[in-house]
Copies of this chain bind each other. A is one copy, B any other.
Amino acid sequence: MLDEEKVFKDPVHGYIYVNDPLIWDLINTKEMQRLRRIRQLGTSYVTYPGGEHSRFSHSLGVYEVIRQIIQSFARNAYEWPSEYNQLVMVAGLLHDIGHAPFSHALEKVIGLRHEMWGERIILEPTTEVHQVLAQIDPELPSQVASVINKTHPQKLVVSLVSGQLDADRLDYLMRDSIFTGVDYGKFDLARIIRVMRPLGGRIVVKRSGLHTVEAYLLARYFMYWQVYFHPVSRSAEVILKAILKRVKDLVAGGQEPPMPHPALAELFTQSLRLDSYFALDDTVLFNAFNVWQDSSDPILKDLCRRFLNRHLFTYMEYPDHDMDTYQKLRVQVQSHGYDPAYYLAVDETGTVYYDYYLGAENSEDKDSALFLWDDDEKILIEMSRLSKPVNAIAREKQVIRRLYFPHDVR
């Protein structure tokens, strides 16, 4: 234990408490500090000026939520394998360690897989994270990695980090809600933690907590509509991807633009080393766009100016994916002198607000469902059977499809 409890002030949890020196040392590694320079919400700041918070504060928040859950389990004397306490707090803290700046765009255009990089950061002996972990126990790095990539045999531990009601979601919904100022994402976190309990190798919820968990699932639904699916933020994402694609194409064509950070050259030639991966953060990308806004390539120049100055694309809803509309718009885009490869995009985004699968009794997939524990009847009941609103948004995938293009094309 630390001599003196450390705390971080946090607008979401009030305070984040650190007593374990391992947690403190991990927070102070350069790989964790790098997350201060990666925004949690990617391009959402263009719509919600307050949404500028980083993955660093989210990571601290996930750790804190896990700490509180474990504390509640102990206070209520629930059956819980407390020998995993440190492991699961560490896994929560590190679960986003591999994230690149604007992860989703980089994954789509360049093929970066942040899960893989996260695993490398934990497992390769050159990183500070690895060294801090291995000093405690040489097995710890691989155990942490296995919790994060969900292969750890103790499913109970995994489900606190990744599940229908995990600390990751609990923190980011609250955090994104508070920083954007969008109230819909708030729910009663203290009560959710109180109604959670481990039971038969699974985290379940006491039946009395039905409406609290309902409110949490509906908060997800609202946050997707108000924030994550927001058409203006998606427009910035569309332009971001167009920039990345343009640079990739220029590099492929032997017309590489100046690379104001060495890691960028490796990124666009798919030859990233682990060290260079660390260097990548939002500021490296923003600075590159800043340099490229004076590029000799007119497309790259224009796209970067659009991104930096918020001259975004407009859009039309495109639910049916009909080729006719697309082709007509394509012709129009071209007739305005724009290359459709960069100036016309189908943006598809979506989620399942609450998914469940009720397979055979021993099926792994059962863990995807949220179960309520009825202590009188001694039975587990799947969430959507008890809640009409949840049933109404369960299972089906919500897909939003839009066509993006410059304003003057309309």
Binding site for B on A (CB under 8 A): 4-5, 7-11, 14-15, 19, 28-30, 33-34, 36-37, 45, 48-50, 52-54, 56-57, 60, 75-76, 178-184, 186-188, 190-191, 194, 211, 214-215, 218, 221-222, 225-226, 260-262, 279, 281-284, 286-288, 290-291, 293-294, 305, 308-310, 388-389, 391-393
| Residues of chain B within 8 A of A308, CB atoms compared | 30, 33-34, 37
Shortest Cβ-Cβ A-B pairs, 6 listed: A287-B287, A283-B286, A392-B392, A260-B260, A283-B283, A30-B309
Residues B49 and A56 in contact, CB atoms below 8 Å apart: yes
Residues B57 and A49 in contact, CB atoms below 8 Å apart: yes
C-alpha spacing A49/B52, complex, angstroms: 11
| Residues of chain B within 8 A of A281, CB atoms compared | 286, 290
Residues A10 and B310 in contact, CB atoms below 8 Å apart: no
Main DSSP-derived SS at the A contact region: helix
C-alpha spacing A183/B36, complex, angstroms: 23
Contact of A286 among B11, B180, B287, B392 (CB under 8 A): B287
| Residues of chain B within 8 A of A260, CB atoms compared | 260-261, 287, 291
Residues A75 and B19 in contact, CB atoms below 8 Å apart: yes
C-alpha spacing A53/B30, complex, angstroms: 22
Residues B49 and A60 in contact, CB atoms below 8 Å apart: yes
C-alpha spacing A309/B265, complex, angstroms: 23
CB closest residue in chain B, given A13: B181
| Residues of chain B within 8 A of A310, CB atoms compared | 28, 33
Residues B182 and A9 in contact, CB atoms below 8 Å apart: yes
| Residues of chain B within 8 A of A305, CB atoms compared | 30
Residues B191 and A15 in contact, CB atoms below 8 Å apart: yes
Contact of A50 among B53, B286, B393 (CB under 8 A): B53
C-alpha spacing A60/B181, complex, angstroms: 14
Residues B11 and A181 in contact, CB atoms below 8 Å apart: yes
C-alpha spacing A48/B10, complex, angstroms: 7
C-alpha spacing A237/B354, complex, angstroms: 37
Known: A53-B50, A180-B9, A287-B284. A211 touches B215 (CB 8 A): no
| Residues of chain B within 8 A of A48, CB atoms compared | 8-9
| Residues of chain B within 8 A of A36, CB atoms compared | 45, 49, 52
